[in-house]
Structure 1
Amino acid sequence: MKKKLIVLIITWLVFVASDYFILPYFVQPLIWILFCLVLVVLLIIQIVKTIKERKNLKLIRVSTLSTIFILFFMTFYNFNEIPHLIMEKIDWHVSYQKRNQIVKEVINGKLKSNTKMHNGICKLSFEFPIVSNGGNDILIDKNKDDQTRAVHFWISRGFFDSPQIYFVYTHDAETKRHLQNMIESRPEYNWKIEENWYRITERL
């Protein structure tokens, strides 16, 4: 049972990392639902076994039940929010230099919107470390004079009623005022990370 529990924990960690860094945003909800269902089934099985063994309950059974419950809660609660916040902090530090380099290339005009719709999305080459989750696309916001106002790196592309979440770089005064207003109205979801860098939640 210990080996199975270890395998489950490792599988969950792989799921969390894949869900955050690799899975396309349109696949994420399906995998999330599937993983939640698997954990629910495992949880029910452990509850039934715990009830049957209640007169001679062993520590490993309680540990297994507790672990599966914790994994289910962390996965189900607000669409994986808890592990995502942990991964987000790791992601910020790991890809910090690379994101700054991309921002410089956007400002210098080396990177531009490269989709057929010309909707501000720039598709980057898919290589590790991923700098923008859900496909490694970035969103470039320009003003009327075609000057870069902001560069958005997706943390989450959003699904169901979940918001889109970004790391946002901007040196534009107007954009900064707009982001500051968002921070003041919803500080639990939006905050300034450092000079010119913000973490922003865009509720749909």
Structure 2
Amino acid sequence: MSIEFLLTSLVIILIPGTGAVYTIATGLVAGRVSSTFAAFGCTLSIAPHVIAAIFGLAAILHTSAILFQGIKIFGVIYLLYLAYQALKSRGPLKIDNTDNLPVNKISIVKSGILINVLNPKLSIFFLAFLPQFVDPASPTWAAETLLLGGSFMAMTFVVFSIYGVCASALRKAVLGSDIFMRWFRRTTAAAFAGFGLKLAFSEQ
């Protein structure tokens, strides 16, 4: 495993995306443990895209406009749904937990998975990204690609968990501020809406 792969992966993971925003929001509202579950869900959702890249499913997705558009539409709808839920403080992104009510960890993981699974661009990304660091002539190229994908997932989990822990550290200070929570709900909703629109207007 090359240092170039590790550094490139780290830069890609550090750039805030839907998973990072979701994990941060969860940590801020529900605490460190819940944010770890959010990070786990977002990380787990990478596995299907890595497997798709290994078996060439991403190539099929890239060439099939109907399939690509179909998955993309579901992804856009879900991101806009999360934006609405964040704005209204409902569902998996309920940004209002001042009473410290129990949080459904399974629901958190499911939402984290759906955020990335419904983004067909990720499969195409891994199809283009991972082969750069594997020798296609090697008899073990599939195993090597899987190892790279697993390493990318491990790094994602660590980085996202750190995001969540940092957010949870601010939890007590901000949950009691109506002004901050109102601003945070709107910002989180705008972020997911922006991600949804970006995906909607993306090309294959």
The TM-score with structure 1 as length reference comes to 0.32
Q: Which structure dedicates a bigger proportion of its chain to strand? A: 1
Higher helix share: 2
TM-score by length of 2: 0.32
